[in-house]
Structure 1
Amino acid sequence: MESIDARIVGRERELEELSRFVTAAGGRALVLRGDTGVGKSALLDHVVDLSAAEQHRVVRAAGVEAESGLPFAGLHQFLYPLLPSIERLDDQHRRAFDVVFGRGEGSPPSVMALGIAVLDLLSLVASQQPLLLALDDGQWFDTASIEVCGFVGRRLTGSSVRLVVGLRSDVPSGFDTAALPRLDVCTLSEAAAAHLLDLRNPGLDPRTRRLILDEAQGNPLALLELPPHVLRGGRAAGEREALPGYTGIPLPLRLQDVYGARVAALDDAVRAELLRGALDGVGAGTATGHGPGTRYRMRDADEAAAAGLLDIDPLTGDFVFRHPLVRSTVVQKATPNQRRAAHAALAHVHREDVERRAMHLAASTIDPDEQVASALEAAADSATLRGGSLAAVSWLTRAAELSESHEARSRRLGSAAFVAGHAGLLYRARELVRSDTAPGTDESPAAVVASAYVALYEDGDVRSSQRHVLAAIENLRDQGVRQPDEVLTRLVNLLLAVNQYASDEASWQRAHELLGSLGDLVPPNSRIYEDAWGDVVRRGTGVHERLKGALADLHRLEPWEITRLCVAAYHVDTLGPHRPQLQRIVDREVETGAVASGMTMLHLIMLDQMAAGDWDEAERTGRRSLDLTTSHDHALFAHHTRAYLGLLAAMRGDTEQARKLQVTVDAWARPRGVGFLTQIADAIGTTAALTDGDYEAAYLHAIGITSPGTFTPYAHQAPRTLLDLVEAALHTGRTDQARRHALAAHRAGLPAVSPRLALVTYGALAMTATDPGEADDMYQRAVSHPAAADFPFELARIHLAHGIRLRHTQGRKAAHLSLTLAAETFERLATPAWAERARAELRATGAPARTSTVRLATLTWQEHRIADLAAGGLTNKEIGARMHLSPRTVSSHLYRVFPKLGITSRAALRDALGTLPDDRGV
C-alpha cells in the first residue's frame, strides 16, 4: 500500500471522486482521461483496491495496440472470466456470445443485441456479488468493443456493476464520444510534483531536483523514471551546461517510447523542423525557454500538431511542444549528423546573438576551429556578466577542445578552471588543471591560478598557495612579460587574496616588492586591492576616491571583480551605498553564476547590515551564507562566516554562542596561519568580554591584536578594534595606554581613511582627553560627523562614554541627553547588556526607568521636513527626489530623528510630530 500511496501523491480531488464512485449506491461508469504517464493506471489500481475492500468482484482488462483492429478483442478480454455464467443465460443471449467467442456460426449480432446480452450477463454476475470492470488503455480497444462498452456503460443505473476505463487523451478513441462520465486526470501541481520527487528520491542536489521538475512538468511517470536515470549517468545538474538552448536530459527508453513512435512517423522535413525547435529550447507545456534572445519559430509543422506532439501558443500563435518529454524525445531520436545540421542552421539564425550563435556553432563543429573557439570564449565572457558562470565553464572547456594550438588550448582550459573555481565547482577546477598538465611537466601559470585557488578556499592552505603563486609571478616576470596579461592579473589578484587571509607582514612586503617590479603590468584595480586589503592604516588614504570610479558601472564588471572592489570598500567603510546592488546580484550568482563570489557578497552584505544596525537581517544573511559555504565544501568561507556570526552574537549579548564560534574558528585558522580569521576570533573575545563587562579580559584580547599606541602592520582588525582597546584600557585603569592609543590613531590619519575610523578616532580622543574642552570638541566632531548615524553601535558607545564622563564632571543634568540617546539606540539594536548599562547610568542621574528624548533634543529644519514627509506616507526615494537627497541620506536623517522623538517606527511619526512645540525644528 505504501508504494501505491506514493504513486497517487497530490490526487486528493481524484481520490475523493473515486471513493464516491465505489461506495455510492447503484451502478455507474467513469472514464479516467489523461496524458501518458500522468497516473491513470495508479488511480485504476486504487479503484481496484477500494472495490476489493468493499467485497466487490473485480475483472480487469487492458487494451493492446496490436489487437485494436480485431473485432471484439477487448470485449473478449473482460468477459472471458465470466464465461461460466453465460450458461445460465437464455438461448438468444448465449448464441450472441457464441458468435463473439468463435464458438458458433452465424452473423455477428448488432451492437444493441450484444449490448443487451452483456448487460444481462453482468447483472446476473452482480446479483451474487457487486462487480467492478476495470479497463486500462481503453484507446486501444477495437471499435466494436468500445461501442458495446459505451452502450453498457450508459445503462448501468440500478445495477451493482461499475465500469471504469483508463484512456489516453492524446490518442483519438471511440470512448471520446461514448457520452460516459469523465474524470480528467491532469498533471500534478508544482507542490505535489516536488513532494512525489522528494518522497521517492530524497537528498537530490537542488539543481538536479529543479532540472527534473522542469523536465517532468508534473508527469508522475517522468518524476519516477528520470532521477535514477540521471544519477546513473553520473552528471549532476550542477555540472550540466547552463546553455540558452536545449536543456533537457537524456530519457530512459520507457519515456522515449511515450512519444517516440509518433516522432518517427513524421515526414523528414517536419522532424527536422521539430529538431531545430527542440535544440533551440522552444517552450513546452507550461514551461518556457531559458536564456536571452528570440526562439526559433517552427513552421509547416501541422502534421506534428495533428499527431499530438505540438500545441499552439494562444498568445503568439507559434508552435510549442506539448510536453518537455516531446522535446527531449525529438532530440534523442535524431542522429548525430541530424543534430549537427540543425545546430548549424540555428547558428545562422542567431548570427547577431553572441551566446546563442557560439553555442550552436560549437555543437555543429567536430574538428578544431579557432574561429568557433574564439566565438565560444566571447560567449563565456558575456555569460559571466549576467550571472552565467556555469555556462561559461562549459563554453570555455569546449573552446579548449576546438583550439588549433596547444598554447590556446592551455589558456582556455586555465580560464575554464578559473571560472569553475569561482562557480563553486572546485572538483571541476581540479579536473581541468589535471587535463592541462602532462606527466612530468610543471604547471602552467593558468593551472597555478586554479590549483592555488582550490587549495586556499577548500582548506585554507595559505602557505602553499602563497608559495606557488609567488613563484609563478616571478617566472612570468623573469621571462620578460611586456604587456598586461590576463593570467598575470589573475595571479596578482590571487596573491593579494592569499596575503589578505595570511595577514603576515613579511609576505606583504615581499608582495609589494614583486608588484612594484611589475610596474604598469599591474592593473589599477589590483593596486586598489593592494592598498585596501593589506594595511589600511598606512595605505588606505585616498582609496575611497579611487573606488568611486572603479565602482561607477557595476553591470560591466565580472562578478569576482565586483566582490574584490566591494571588499576594498568594506576596508574603508564605504560599502553601504553598494549593498543594494550586491543584494540584487547575489541571488543570480548563487543560482547559476559565480557561487564563490556570491559567498563573498553575502559576507559583505552581512557586514554592512551589522554596521548599520540591521542585526536581525545580518543574522539571516549569515545563516544563509553558512548553509551555502558548507554545502559547497568551501571550508575557508564557512569559517569566515562563523567568525562574523560570532562577532554578531557578541555584539547582541549572546556571549556563550559567541565564544563557541570563537573557539571553532580559532582552532581551525591558527594552525593554518589564517591570520585574518584569528584576528576576528580575538575581536569576538574582545567584544564578548566588553558586553559582559569583563574589561580585563577585553583588554587582553584587544592587545592580542595590536599593542596600545601602535597599529600592528597588516592586521586588519587593529584599526577596527580602536574603540574596544581604548574602552577596555580606561575601565581597567590604564588611562595612559588608552590615551596613547587614541593619539596614535589621530597621528596615523585614520579619520581620512574611512568615516567609521573618523567616528571612533574622535570618540576615543573624547574618552581619553584630560581637558574638558577638548573632550567636548572631539565628542561633537564624532556625533556630528555626516556618517555617524551609519554606525549606530559605535555611536551609542560614544554617547554612553561621554554621558558617564559628563555625569562625573558636570553633573547629572548634563549627562542626560547623551545617556538617553545611548540607551534608546542599544534597545533598538536589541543588545540587552549594553542597554542596561546605559539605563543604569540614566538612573544614576535621577531619570525615571524610561524616558524619551522628545523634550531633550530638537530637530533641524531638514530633519523636521523629512520626518513630516515620511509621516505623510512618502518613501525614502520619493522624499529624496523632493529634497534632492539620496535615499540613503534620507534614511540616515530618519535614523537620527527616531531617537530624538522617542519612537522606533515610521508609523509613530505623525503622533510624535504633533507633540512638538511650534518652534521645534527651526
Structure 2
Amino acid sequence: MVGRDGERTRLSAFVRAPDGQALVLRGEAGVGKSTLLDLAARLAAEDGQLVVRATGVEAESGLPHAGLHQLLYPLLPDAGRPDGPSGHTDPSSHTDRSGRPDQHRPDQHRPDQHRPGAPGLNATARAAFDAVFGRPDGPPPPVMALGIAVLDLLSWTASEGRPLLLVLDDGQWLDEASAEVCGFVGRRLAGRPGVKLLVAVRADTASRFDTAALPEAPVGALADADATRLLDLHHPELGRQVRGLVLEQAGGNPLALLELPAHLVGGPGDRAAQDLLGLHGVPLPRRIQEVYAARLARLGDTVRAELLRGALDGAAARPGDGPAPVARYRMREVDEAVACGLLVVEPATGEPAFRHPLVRSSVVQLATPDQRRSAHRVLAQLHREYPERRAIHLAAATVDPEEGVAADLEAAARSATRRGGARMAVSWLTRAAELSETRVDRSRRLGEAAYVAGQADHLGRARSLALAAAPGTDESPAAVLADSYLALYREGEVRATHRRIVAAVERLRDSPDRPGRHDRYDRHDQFDHRHRPDRPDEVLDRLVSLLLAVSQYAGNGATWQRTHEVLASLGDLATERAWMYGSTWSDVLRHGAGWSRRVELAASAGLEDQDPWDVTRLAVSAYHLDVLSPLRPYLERVVDRELDTGAMSSGIVMLHLVLLDQLALGQWDAAERTGHRALALATERGHGLFAHQTRAYLAQLAAVRGRTAEARELQAAVDAWARPRGVEFLTQIADAVGATAALGAGDYETAFLHAIGITAPGAFRPYAYQASRTLLDLVEAALHTGRAEQARAHALAARDAGLPDLSPRLALITHGALAMTAEDDTKAAAHYARAQTHPAAERFPFELARIRLAHGIGIRRLHGAAAARLPLTQAARAFDRLGAPAWAARAHAELRAAGVAPRAPAPAPLPLTWQERRVAELAAGGLTNKEIGEQMRLSPRTVGAHLYRAFPKLGITTRAALRDALTRISDPTPTP
C-alpha cells in the first residue's frame, strides 16, 4: 500500500478505539477504498475482534432489506431465544443437489435459532428480525424499530466479550431500507462500546449515506510521487513514453495505475496508446472499463456466459467470510478469466470473484440483449423460492406475454409494497401489465401501478399509467384517481375534482361489470383493512376515500351534503371506515357523536397490518375527535420509512398529524421543527396544497407563541392562495390564526372580527370545522369588547350542541367558556372546577392555562388577591413553560396586582456541545458549510448535521438568527 500513511493511521485508531463509532470512506472508483477496508478488517482480526463483511450489490439495490440481511446474516444464528425451536445452526446441515449448503431454506439462520445457553434477544428485537427476514409476507417494522433491534443485536454480540467491526463495501448500492437502518445505527454507536461500522461509498454515485450525517474520511488520488512509485513497483518494465502516458491518464488513481499498463503493453503499442488517448476527457471509470472490455472480448463464449450470470446475480467483488445469506450463482470453468486478471480466487473459499465492480459493469455492457435474457432465465430458476429476487430476473428474461410470469411479478410487487419498496413495486406491476395475456389483467395491473405510484408521490407517472390502463378515455377509475391526486395536491383544485370523482363513483356503482358487484364483503367488519388486492370494490374504496379528502379540503356544506348523498347511495358498498371518515372529517358537531370509541378501537387493532394511507386517514379522524395522541408513536415510527421509500403524500400527512399533536400538547419547539421539515418536503415536491397547509399550521404556532408579525404574514399567504380556490379548510385556519394572534396582542376587536368570520355568535356554522375549535377565542374576544350577551349565547350554544360529549378538548373549552360567561359566581366556580379537573385537561396546556388565567382574574376581582394567586401562578408558569410571552406577561401582571413579586428569570443553560458551538460561531460569521468543513476538517454534510442539531437548541430556524442567538448565551465556551 503506497501513499496511504494518513489513512492507515486513522483506520488503525478507528479500529482500536474502545468506544463505538462509525466512519464512511468516500472516494472515486478504483481509488483503493476496498484495500483500506481490507486493512481495517485485518487489523481488527489481529486485535481479536469479530469482523463481519458485506458488499452492496447493484442488482439488489431495489430489494428492501437485502443489504441488511447480508450484513447481519452471520450474527443471527447465535442470537436466538433460549426457548425457541432448535432450528439448524450448521450451514451444512442441508444441501442442494450440487452438494452445497441449501441456502434457499427460509427456516435456516433465522433469529429464532440460538446457541445453547445464550441469553438471546428480547421479544421486540426478535419480532423485528422475523418480520424482515423470516416472514417476507408480513408488514416490515419501521426504520426506528428495526434500527433499535439491530443495535440490540450488535450490543448483545459485543457483550459476549468480543468487540465487533462491521465492514460494508460499495455502500452506494445498498438498498434504501438497509441504508436507512445503517445510518440510524451508525449515528447511535457512540454510547455502545465494542461496536464499530466502517462503510465505503463512491464519491460520484448518490447514496443514502450522503445524508446519513456520519463522520467521513475522504480517500483521494495519490500524490504524483506516490503514483510514480506505485507504477514503478508493479510495472518497472515500462518505457519512458508509455510510463508518462499512464501517469497522465491515471491521475493518481491506483486501479488505473495497475490496469492501464497491461492494456498498452498487451497489444500493438501505438494503437493501444491511441485508443487510450482517444478516451481523454472520458471519466476515469469508463476508461478502466474499456480496458476490461478489451480483455473480455478475447474470452470464449462459454466463459463470458458464466461471467454474465455471475455479474447479473450480484456476485460480490470481495465477499466476506462465512456462508452467504442467499445462494449466488457459482461461476465454473473460468480459469481463463482469472488468468487475464478479470477474476480473483478468494483464498478463504476457493471461489472466483470479480476483481472490481467495474469488471461486472463491463461484462453486462458487453453482452447482447439475447445473452442477458438467457442469463436472467437461469437466475430466475436459481431464485425460484425468493419471489422478489425471482421477479428481477423474470422481468428481464421474458419478452412475450406470459400470465404465469405476470402473476409472479404482481405477487413480488405486493410483497415489496409491504416491505417499503413502493418504487420497485410500480416497476414490477408495470412489467406485469406488459406481460399480461388479457386486456382485463393488463388494465387491472396498470391501475394498481398507478395507485401505488400516486401514493409514492410519482403523480406524473401515475397519470401516464392510468391512461395506459384505459387507452382512449380520461374517465376510467384509474385515470380519475391519478388526475384527482394531481389536481388536489399540486393545485388545490377542489370544485372540479369533486364533481369528477362523484361522476366516477356513480359510474362504477352502476356498472354491471364492476368487480365484486355480486360478491360484496361485509362492511361491518370495519377494522380489517389489511392489504387484500383481490378484495371486491377496491377501486371504488379508493375513489370514495379521495372524495372524502377533497370534501374535507373544500370544507363547505354544499360539497359535504353531496358527498353524504353519494355515500348513502352506495349502501353496503360504503365501508364502515368510509362512514367514519365522512362523519368525523366533515362536522363533528353534527355527525361525530359516538365515533371516538370506535376510532380508539381501530387505533388499537393492529396498525402494523394496515396500509400506511389507511393509518393516516384513521389518524385524521382521531385529530378531529382530539384523540390523536395514542396514534402518534406509530406515526413517528413509520414517517421516516414512508418518506424514504417515496410515499411522500402519506409521509407529509403523517408529519402534519405529528405537528398538530405536538401543538396541542404544548411541545412547540418540536412542532416547529416538524413543520419546517414538512414545509421543505412539500415545497420541494411541488405540493401546493400541503405547502400552504403546513404554513397554516406554522401560523397557528406563531400565533399562540405571540409572534404576531410572523403569524399574520403566514396567514396572508395561506389566505391569498386558498380563498380563490375555495379551499375553506385552509381559509378557516387563516381566520382562526387571525383571532388567536390578535388575542395575544390584546387587539380584541380584531380578534372578534376574525372569529365571527368562521361562525356567528350563538351558532356553529355547519361543516365549518374551526367553528367548534375557536369557541374560546370568540367568547374571550366578545367579553373583552363588551359583547357579554353574545359571549354568553355562544357558550350556551356549545353546551346545548353537546360539545362536551364529542371530545376531551371540546369539553375543556366548553366548561371554560361557560365559566367565563356565567351569570353568578357559584355557577362560574362549578364550571371552572369541571374544566380544570377534567381527566384530559393537562393534555391541552395552552387552553387550560387560558382558563386558569380567566379564573384567577375573576377571583381577584370578587374575592381578593390571596384567593387568586394559585390559578394565576399556575397560568403564569404554564405560559412560561410553553413559550407564550404575551400571555405570560399578562399572567405575571395579574400576579403583581395580586401582590406576588416577580421572579428573576433563571439564566438559560448552554445546550450546545463544543463542536456544535464552534460550527454555529463560524456559520454566524458568514462562512459556508464547505468553508467551515475545511477549517474544522469536517465534511460539509457533517457541518450541516451539527447546524441541524444546534438550531432547535438555540430556538431559531434560520442561519441569519445565529449571531443574536449566540449573543444571548452568557456562559463561557466549554472546553472541548
TM-score relative to the length of structure 2: 0.61
Two-structure CA RMSD over aligned residues (Å): 3.9
* Equivalent of 1:524 in 573, 576, 579: 576
| Distance in 2, Cα, partners of 1:369 & 1:772 | 81
1:450 paired to 2:482 = yes
1:433–1:447: 8 Å Cα contact kept in structure 2?
A: yes
- Equivalent positions of 1:852-867 (< 5 A) are none
CA 1:841–1:459: 2 relative to 1, 3 Å: same
CA 1:165–1:751: 2 relative to 1, 3 Å: closer
| Distance in 1, Cα, partners of 2:448 & 2:300 | 44
Equivalent residue for 1:631? 684
| Partner-residue secondary structure (3-state), 1:438 | coil
| Distance in 2, Cα, partners of 1:807 & 1:643 | 37
Equivalent residue for 1:766? 819
Tell me how far 1:384 sits from its aligned partner. 2.3
| Partner-residue secondary structure (3-state), 1:711 | coil
- Equivalent positions of 1:213-292 (< 5 A) are 254=287, 256-264=289-297, 271-284=304-317
* Equivalent of 1:490 in 512, 532, 542: 542
| Distance in 2, Cα, partners of 1:734 & 1:820 | 28
Equivalent residue for 1:582? 635
Equivalent residue for 2:790? 737
Equivalent residue for 2:502? 470
1:372 paired to 2:405 = yes
CA 1:553–1:845: 2 relative to 1, 3 Å: same
Equivalent residue for 1:571? 624
Paired AA for residue 421 in structure 2? G
Cα deviation, 1:510-535, whole Å, max 9, x if unaligned, reads 11111111111122222221111111
* Equivalent of 1:357 in 379, 382, 390: 390
Tell me how far 1:314 sits from its aligned partner. 10
Q: Which moved more, 1:547-556 or 1:258-267?
A: 258-267
CA 1:570–1:12: 2 relative to 1, 3 Å: farther
Paired AA for residue 602 in structure 2? A
1:276–1:296: 8 Å Cα contact kept in structure 2?
A: no
Tell which structure's C-alpha radius of gyration is larger: 1
Cα deviation, 1:754-784, whole Å, max 9, x if unaligned, reads 2212221222222222232322222222222
Equivalent residue for 2:557? 505
- Equivalent positions of 1:40-55 (< 5 A) are none
Q: Which moved more, 1:833-842 or 1:720-729?
A: 720-729
Tell me how far 1:462 sits from its aligned partner. 0.6
| Distance in 2, Cα, partners of 1:313 & 1:692 | 74
Equivalent residue for 1:548? 600
Tell me how far 1:659 sits from its aligned partner. 0.6
Paired AA for residue 553 in structure 2? Y
1:748 paired to 2:815 = no
| Distance in 1, Cα, partners of 2:510 & 2:387 | 38
1:657 paired to 2:673 = no
* Equivalent of 1:461 in 478, 483, 493: 493
Tell me how far 1:313 sits from its aligned partner. 8.5
Tell me how far 1:721 sits from its aligned partner. 0.9
Tell me how far 1:452 sits from its aligned partner. 1.2
| Distance in 2, Cα, partners of 1:170 & 1:134 | 9
1:397 paired to 2:430 = yes
Cα deviation, 1:657-685, whole Å, max 9, x if unaligned, reads 11111111111110000010111111111
CA 1:587–1:777: 2 relative to 1, 3 Å: same
Q: Which moved more, 1:552-561 or 1:832-841?
A: 552-561
Paired AA for residue 503 in structure 1? G
Paired AA for residue 491 in structure 1? L
CA 1:354–1:732: 2 relative to 1, 3 Å: farther
Tell me how far 1:738 sits from its aligned partner. 1.7
**Runs of 5+ consecutive residues of structure 2 not aligned to the other structure:** 10-26, 34-224, 244-250, 263-278, 521-535, 906-976
| Partner-residue secondary structure (3-state), 1:796 | helix
CA 1:172–1:443: 2 relative to 1, 3 Å: closer
| Distance in 1, Cα, partners of 2:701 & 2:345 | 55
Paired AA for residue 489 in structure 2? Y
| Partner-residue secondary structure (3-state), 1:786 | coil
Equivalent residue for 2:846? 793
CA 1:446–1:452: 2 relative to 1, 3 Å: same
1:282–1:295: 8 Å Cα contact kept in structure 2?
A: no
| Distance in 1, Cα, partners of 2:345 & 2:829 | 77
1:616 paired to 2:669 = yes
- Equivalent positions of 1:43-192 (< 5 A) are 143=237, 168=255, 171=258
CA 1:343–1:543: 2 relative to 1, 3 Å: farther
Q: Which moved more, 1:462-471 or 1:388-397?
A: 388-397
* Equivalent of 2:660 in 607, 622, 626: 607
Tell me how far 1:591 sits from its aligned partner. 1.6
CA 1:748–1:449: 2 relative to 1, 3 Å: same
Paired AA for residue 522 in structure 1? A
| Distance in 1, Cα, partners of 2:438 & 2:334 | 47
CA 1:811–1:520: 2 relative to 1, 3 Å: same
* Equivalent of 1:381 in 406, 411, 414: 414
| Partner-residue secondary structure (3-state), 2:758 | coil
1:384–1:558: 8 Å Cα contact kept in structure 2?
A: no
* Equivalent of 1:780 in 833, 836, 840: 833
CA 1:505–1:142: 2 relative to 1, 3 Å: same
| Distance in 2, Cα, partners of 1:728 & 1:554 | 42
| Partner-residue secondary structure (3-state), 1:713 | coil
| Distance in 2, Cα, partners of 1:499 & 1:666 | 18
| Distance in 2, Cα, partners of 1:748 & 1:367 | 65
| Partner-residue secondary structure (3-state), 1:715 | coil
| Partner-residue secondary structure (3-state), 1:409 | helix
2:852–2:875: 8 Å Cα contact kept in structure 1?
A: yes
Equivalent residue for 1:514? 566
Equivalent residue for 2:742? 689
| Distance in 1, Cα, partners of 2:769 & 2:694 | 17
Tell me how far 1:477 sits from its aligned partner. 1.8
2:231–2:257: 8 Å Cα contact kept in structure 1?
A: no
* Equivalent of 1:38 in 31, 41, 52: 31
| Distance in 2, Cα, partners of 1:847 & 1:378 | 71
Paired AA for residue 656 in structure 1? A
| Partner-residue secondary structure (3-state), 2:674 | helix
Paired AA for residue 500 in structure 2? H
Tell me how far 1:841 sits from its aligned partner. 0.8
- Equivalent positions of 1:295-444 (< 5 A) are 296=328, 298=330, 300=332, 303=335, 309=342, 321-439=354-472, 441-444=473-476
| Distance in 2, Cα, partners of 1:392 & 1:173 | 41
1:686–1:697: 8 Å Cα contact kept in structure 2?
A: yes
Paired AA for residue 840 in structure 2? A
Paired AA for residue 850 in structure 1? R
Name the % identity. 59
CA 1:132–1:386: 2 relative to 1, 3 Å: closer
Tell me how far 1:341 sits from its aligned partner. 2.8
| Distance in 2, Cα, partners of 1:315 & 1:800 | 75
2:739–2:750: 8 Å Cα contact kept in structure 1?
A: yes
Paired AA for residue 561 in structure 2? Q
Equivalent residue for 1:58? none
1:646–1:661: 8 Å Cα contact kept in structure 2?
A: yes
1:726 paired to 2:779 = yes
CA 1:521–1:774: 2 relative to 1, 3 Å: same
| Distance in 2, Cα, partners of 1:38 & 1:671 | 57
| Partner-residue secondary structure (3-state), 2:371 | helix
TM-score relative to the length of structure 1: 0.65
Tell me how far 1:318 sits from its aligned partner. 7.5
CA 1:404–1:768: 2 relative to 1, 3 Å: same
Aligned length: 649
| Distance in 1, Cα, partners of 2:762 & 2:804 | 16
